[in-house]
Structure 1
Amino acid sequence: MPIKNGFSLLALVPALSGALLSASAVANNDITWGVNSAPPFHIYDGEYKDAGVCDALVSAFQQELPQHVHNIRKLPSRRITMIMKRNKNLCFPCVIKNSAYNTTFLYSDTTHKYAPHGVITDRDTGQYITAKYGYPIQFEQLAKDTDLRFGQPDERRYGKLQPFIDDYLLNASNFSFISGQQSHVNVLAMILNDRIDYTVDYEMVKTYYQRTHDDGDKLSFIPIAEYAGEVIEGAVGCTRNEWGKRTIETLNSAISSVQSNSEFQRALERWLGPNRPR
Structure 2
Amino acid sequence: MKNRSLSTMLACLCIALTPARASAQDEGGWHSLFNGRDLSGWTVKINKHPLGDNYANTFRVEDGVIKVSYDGYGKFDEQFGHLYSNLAYANYILRLEYRITGTAVADAPPWAKLNSGVMIHSQSPWTMGLNQAWPASMEFQFLSAGATAGRQTGNVCTPGTNLEMKGKLLTDHIVESTSKLFPLDEWVAVEVEVRGNEEVVHRVNGVEVLRYQHPQLDPREDSAKALLNAGAPLQLSFGHIALQAESQPVWFRNIRIRPLPATSGTGQQAPGAPR
- TM-score (norm: length of structure 2): 0.24
Specify which structure has the higher proportion of helix.
Answer: 1
Specify which structure has the higher proportion of strand.
Answer: 2
- TM-score (norm: length of structure 1): 0.23
